[in-house]
Chains A and B, each alone.
Chain A
Amino acid sequence: MSEIRTFGPDDVPAVAAMFQRTFRDRAVPAPASLAQHIGDVFLRHPWYDPEVASRVHVSDAGVVNGFIGILPLPLVVGERRLRSGMAGSLMVEDPSKDPLAGARLLRSFLNGPQDISLSETANLLSQRMWERLGGTTVTGLSLDWMRVFRPAGLAIDVASGRIRAARLGRPVAAMCDSLARRAGGGFFRATAPDGVEGREVDEAGLMAALDTIPPSTGVRPDWTAEVLQWVLRTAEVKEQRGPFHRRVMTARGTTIGAAVFYGEPKSLAWVLHVTARPGAEAKVMEELLAYADVTGFAGMRGRVTPALHETLLRQKAFFFRRGAFVAHSRDPALVTALADPAAVVTGLAGESWIRLIGGTFR
């Protein structure tokens, strides 16, 4: 009889192999580094909660053929502490053979003891499953933004992700962009805000800066310095995204915000997380975009959060749908609280920091 059970250390090789076959190259065995990372984030996470943990589906033959990855995420809202889990990496080996496995995995997770269940990367199928189980799509958190500085360079960068030879077009793209930026009347340029200074910092500098920014009043992770540092270190290397940047913004000597992002000049920068003092969101975002423009990035993208929505529109970013942010709770007020502009449940709080997204395992 098939069953759902908690993911354990002995399942890591099977899950890594299934991840390799499902999302990566079927012809190549799962690298040891992939198995290591899966074990790190789903079993050795400092917040690991055995009751809000990843699950595997085991077939009638006793073979692991399904997985749902759960990242533990203790949250705080007001004075209330919440147990929560962020789901992702839902996969079933050959779903035609076991069409109910995915549904069982998700249902098993949602029936767990946590106060609220979340996912920020639900595809259309997963989104429908969440909704059938009483979950809600949080539209305000289900969008990505992109700001284009060098359109031709961005096109080359996107194309070179599929065809490496496309990089040969960079010199021509640079000329096109130079013309476009001159003729565009400033449309592609991002302007730095007055009175704000930004600088790239090391890990200690980022941690010190984050420590001075007051926590949001909305739903937010119950961070400790140790856990935040562990998450940041785990997120540092994403080969497909480029080098990791930590940037801190100050105004009149006071830290007003910080951001972490990936990328190298001439390519697209991927923003993982932006945080700002209340009221400083616009200045922080403007500084980040201006820095990316001056440094020569082709564009910048990230996850839309309600707090940055208006600022991003004013900064000529466009929005598009990637994965849906879905939430499920027996307390509807908790789901409603996620749409509050003060809520902080994406980026470092979400799933996007793990290396299964944007990492290259060799």
Chain B
Amino acid sequence: MTIEQRVTGFIRENFLFSDQATPLSPADSLMEAGLIDSTGVLELVAYLEQEFGIAMADADIVPANLDTIAGISAYVSRKQSAAKAA
């Protein structure tokens, strides 16, 4: 599974309560849709750190990295690439 698919699965399971009918595209704003708030984002961060073995700095917890599935996937890819390059 791709990063995008795994993140989508997590969001559906935890924030949509496994509802498969609700449309959820990679570019949808999770905050505008009310799916993620200040508590939800902490759950998401914990998932990303555990699932993908990355460490998120406080400065990385910004909408640009976490507001869309596409943004989250791109962020995780960048972190994994940086870790491999190091």
Contact = CB atoms under 8 A, between A and B. Distances in A.
B12 to A, nearest CB: 19
Contacts of B63: 99-100
Contacts of B58: 4, 104, 107-108, 111
A99 B62 contact: no
B31 interface: yes
Given A132-B43, A132-B46, A103 B38 contact: yes
A103 B62 CA distance: 10
B59 A1 contact: yes
B38 A102 contact: yes
Interface string A71-110: 0000000000000000000000001000111111001100
B71 to A, nearest CB: 13
A95 B42 contact: no
A95 B62 contact: no
Given A99-B31, A100-B66, A132 B39 contact: yes
B39 A99 contact: no
Contact of B41 (A4, A103, A108, A125): A103
B62 A2 contact: yes
Interface in A1-50: 1-4
Interface residues of A, number: 19
B41 A99 contact: yes
Contacts of A102: 38
B16 interface: no
Interface in B20-66: 31, 36-39, 41-43, 45-46, 58-59, 61-63, 66
Contact of B38 (A3, A100, A108, A111): A100
Given A99-B31, A132-B43, A132-B46, A125 B38 contact: yes
A103 B31 contact: no
Contacts of B43: 132
A107 B59 CA distance: 11
Nearest to B59: A3
A301 to B, nearest CB: 30
B41 A100 contact: yes
Nearest to A105: B58
A322 interface: no
B40 to A, nearest CB: 8
Interface string A46-62: 00000000000000000
A280 to B, nearest CB: 42
Contacts of B66: 100
A99 B42 CA distance: 11
A228 interface: no
Contacts of A132: 39, 42-43, 46
A128 B39 contact: yes
A133 interface: yes
Nearest to A127: B39
A128 B46 CA distance: 14
29 contacts: A1-B59, A2-B62, A3-B59, A95-B38, A99-B31, A99-B36, A99-B37, A99-B41, A99-B63, A100-B38, A100-B62, A100-B63, A100-B66, A102-B38, A103-B39, A103-B61, A107-B42, A107-B58, A108-B58, A111-B58, A125-B39, A128-B39, A129-B38, A129-B39, A129-B42, A132-B42, A132-B43, A133-B42, A133-B46
